[in-house]
Amino acid sequence: MLLLSAVLVAALAQQTLVVDLDADHHLDTVVLNQTRKQIEITVTYGNPKYPSEIFRFPVDPGLEDAVCAVPVTLKREPLDYDLTKAVGYRVDGFVRSPHLYGFAVLDGKCDSLHFFFNHKTNRMQYWRL
């Protein structure tokens, strides 16, 4: 039984997604580390002109900038949606295209976090409903 618990903790700890987020034809790496209290997302760009980015979210269903439960999962997400309609205002730097990708963080309990590369600021940005 102890061995099974160690395997479950390891499975909770990390997930990796490889995708071209900034449309520069270099693959970027998204690493999700998670504990029972926090998730951490590190984005490392394939092009060294962009520095890595780290996002941290607590696990707390009572907070807006948090996830409601763990484990969470990463999912590659096409950016073929109307962000203005989703958030209620225009976001400079968002490029809508079925050929561009971002990623979503899903916990199965509350609204997902949706990440995209902002082509105006050259940084990742996220939104949720």
Model confidence at 129, in pLDDT bands (50, 70, 90)?
confident
Amino acid letter for position 92: D
What pLDDT digit, counting tens, does each position of 11-32 carry? Answer: 466 999 999 999 999 999 999 9
- Tally Cβ neighbours within 10 Å of residue 85: 7
Q: How far apart are CA 42 and CA 39, in angstroms?
A: 10
Question: Domain tally for the chain?
Answer: 1
**Residue 8 pLDDT exceeds 90:** no
Nearest alpha-carbon partner for 61 in 109, 25, 8, 10 = 109
CA atoms within 13 A on the CB side of 28: 29
User: Cis omega before residue 48 (within 30°)?
Assistant: no
For residue 8, the enclosing domain spans 2-127
Select the more confidently predicted residue: 102 or 1.
102
pTM score of the predicted model: 0.89
Nearest alpha-carbon partner for 123 in 57, 56, 52 = 52
What pLDDT digit, counting tens, does each position of 26-64 carry? Answer: 999 999 999 999 999 999 999 999 999 999 999 999 998
What pLDDT digit, counting tens, does each position of 67-87 carry? Answer: 999 999 999 999 999 999 999
